[in-house]
Chains A and B, each alone.
Chain A
Amino acid sequence: MLNHQNKRFSLLLLICALVWNVNVNAQKSYDIVARDIIDHANELMRGNTSVSEMEMIITRPKWNRTLRFKSWSKGIDYSLIYVTYPAKEKGQVFLKRQKDMWNYMPDIEKMIKIPPSMMMQSWMGSDLTNDDLVKGASIVEDYQHIIIKEEEMDGYDCWVIELIPNEDAVVVWGKIICWVTKEGYMTLRNEYYDEDEYLVNIERLSKIKNVGDRLMPTFFEIVPSEKEGQKTTMEFTEIKFNAPLNDSFFSIQNMKRIR
């Protein structure tokens, strides 16, 4: 169960960093430089707005399942997700506006207001919860950061930064170690540890591509350290930053019309 939660949380961080904007407030920090690096790394994965298409594959020893979706986001307040695969779920839409979240199911033409407790429910049967998709702790705000060493990773010079959660932060991890490239602030690897400093998940980021206005990893692989044959991968098949998106894009009307 812990591993399950951990896996979810790593996905949460990933999603936060990639799809949704993470709230960054100026705040006293442990290590300004390290914090700044994480802030930049985080910034790389967001923009004022983002429009993307993703594919998620859940792999287990005996089966795997694929989920594809389109996603639009603006700031930390607005987001819209449209599921494109599998056929059974195609057309489902999730809309988040500030604290409100809705789910629209086109086959029954019904809109459901998602209550906070349902946010913990698995999203579309995946390892993600609804909460993972829209809320998310901040790897900038909820942790203190220290550069512990510098080393080469996949041919890039990297800072290796340790993240320890703030005492009052509601997070699952006891510690996260991040490898961030000195050039371009790209995160290449994250290691997630539980409260007993036991390594739970390893996340590798690869397929570095120029996505238009920036160079960034577009493929993420999360492997639980103790579960053989299990992994979850996510890949941006499309991503575009800072495209103009009106607030009205994130409306009930558009939720029912988006395709």
Chain B
Amino acid sequence: MRLKSNFLSIIIAFVFIQNFLFLSAQSPVEFSGYLSEMPSYSWQKESGITLFDNLVHNRINLAYSPNDKLRMKMEFRNRIFWGETVSSTPLYKHIIGNDPGWMDLSFNWGSGKSYLVNTTIDRLSLEYVAGNFQVQVGRQRVNWSQTMVWNPNDIFNSYSYFDFDYVERPGMDGVRLQYFTGLSSQFETVLKVDVDNRLSTAALYRFNTKGYDIQLIAGQVNQEDYILGGGWSGNISGAGFYGEVSYLSSVSNKNDNILITSVGGNYTFKNSLMLTGEYLYSSNLKDYEGGFAALIYGQASIKTLSITEHSYMLSGAYPVSPLLSLSVAYMGFGFPVFNSFYVGPIIDYSISDNLYISGIFQIFSGEIDQQKELSALSFVRLKWSF
């Protein structure tokens, strides 16, 4: 099956590229992307491990719309990893080369003792629009999130807050049907197939009333859990107020139920300073034993959005000038005492219209299962968008 899906994906990609090249002269073609260079340094106190790495990251977005009903989309990322993480992790190329989707679209082009070259296609889809009806087939991103940090409603591609260099997130393989019932309301159903041929199916209804966007979702995730949930986005006295609730009920064990909910808000002052706060409750994480590593590198599921039952986030973002912006986020894990925390300051500076340099720091500190942990990651990223 894997072979078949791989073969199928290559055919789709081939047809797409051929069409793209052939028709690009006629122009209903869009092309964009970015190229970034990012050295990083990480340090772990207890083990004394330090790692120096470098990542060259290129993203290409291609779209072709021969008419206003049809749209083909292919987006991929090329990455060159180099450094001590690659050389000290024998399985690294398998981790990177492993595609969690039904189609295997992650290709390792080259690898050595301390480097790895990979291309991953994370969007490859065909969309057809007929009036209020839209169908999209292939690899795509279905983003049902309403909150900013933890997204219990984002059941198809959970978002890792810490993976700042990949905001697009992986796509899922499947079919999405959307029917727009009004100017700001829609009904949607999605079918997803993953690498193990597990199916997820869910429906969403979203509407707007009294200044609030409200959504309701129901379905089944990975043939493991039934899900019932909802989310909202609105405001209280001008401050953004949003939340998501998901209730999971295990298909096999009726007593194995999980409640995951996040609630947050933000307020922007007249000087453009924006403060954000968010809280996450995840009932299944009472006895969770994953540490920060699981938090940073894991998160394939809404079940592991955090490492503790209660999590909090506070952040501030301030544009010092149109060129320079600063932000810092603080997360506390645990209740009533924060046994663990994360602090992440970010500096963004615009060198020119299309060139940005950023400094990103991630500091994790805490006690997981009576084990103290302190680690720091720092990144400098030069990013050119085109």
Task: Point out residues on A near B: beta carbons under 8 Å.
Answer: 1, 5, 58, 63, 65-66, 85-88, 90-91, 97, 99-100, 107-122, 125-127, 247-248, 250-253, 257, 259
Q: Are B184 and A115 in contact (CB under 8 A)?
A: no
- Contact check, A247 vs B240: say whether CB atoms are below 8 A apart: no
What is the CA–CA distance of A122 and B272 in the complex, to the nearest angstrom?
6
Q: Which of B230-238, B290-298, B330-338 contacts A (4 or more CB under 8 A)?
A: B230-238
Q: Could you say which of B15-23, B78-86, B261-269 contacts chain A?
A: B261-269
**A88-B354, A117-B267, A247-B183 known; A259 vs B385 contact (CB < 8 Å):** no
CB of A106, distance to nearest CB on chain B (Å): 9
Chain B: minimal CB distance from A118 (Å):
5
B323 interface residue per 8 A CB criterion = yes
A58, A252, A257, A259 — most chain B CB neighbours (10 Å): A252
**Chain A residue contacts of B129, Cβ below 8 A:** 257
Interface membership of B30, Cβ < 8 A: yes
Chain A proximity mask over B337-372: 1 for CB below 8 Å, otherwise 0 = 000000000000010011010000000000000000
Q: Which size class do B's interface residues fall under?
A: 35 or more
Contact assessment for B385 and A87 in the assembled complex, using a CB-CB cutoff below 8 Å: yes
Q: How far is the CB of A59 from chain B (nearest CB, A)?
A: 11
CA distance A108 to B182 in the complex (A): 23
Number of A-B contacts (CB under 8 A): 113
A185 to B149, CA, bound (A): 51
Q: Which 6 A-B pairs have the closest CB atoms?
A: A115-B240, A115-B235, A87-B385, A113-B233, A116-B238, A88-B385
Tell me what chain B mostly uses at the interface: helix, strand, loop, or mixed.
strand
The answer to whether residues A113 and B240 also contact, given A87-B385, A120-B270, A122-B322 and a CB cut-off of 8 A, is: yes
B interface residues with partner A (beta carbon < 8 Å)? 30, 32, 34, 65, 129, 132, 134, 141-143, 145, 167-169, 178, 180, 182-186, 208, 211-213, 233-235, 238-242, 266-272, 274, 319, 322-323, 325, 350, 353-354, 356, 385-386
How distant is A47 from chain B, measured CB to nearest CB, in Å? Answer: 22
User: Cβ of A100 and Cβ of B266 under 8 Å apart?
Assistant: no
Instruction: Using known A-B contacts A108-B167, A108-B168, A109-B143, determine if residue A121 contacts B274 with beta carbons closer than 8 Å.
Output: yes
8 Å CB contact of B134 from A88, A91, A118, A253: A253
Which residues from chain A contact B213 at a C-beta distance below 8 Å?
111, 113
Query: Is the CB–CB distance between A90 and B32 below 8 Å?
Result: yes
Considering the chains assembled together, what is the distance between the CA atoms of A18 and B358 in angstroms? 36
Chain A residues whose CB sits within 8 angstroms of the CB of B132 once the complex forms: 253
Chain B: minimal CB distance from A131 (Å): 10
Query: In whole angstroms, how far apart are the Cα atoms of A259 and B32 in the complex?
Result: 13
| Contact of B274 (CB < 8 Å), options: A118, A250, A252 | A118
Given A100-B184, A100-B208, A253-B132: 11 more A-B contacts, CB < 8 Å: A1-B271, A65-B322, A66-B353, A85-B353, A86-B385, A100-B211, A110-B143, A111-B213, A117-B238, A120-B272, A121-B272
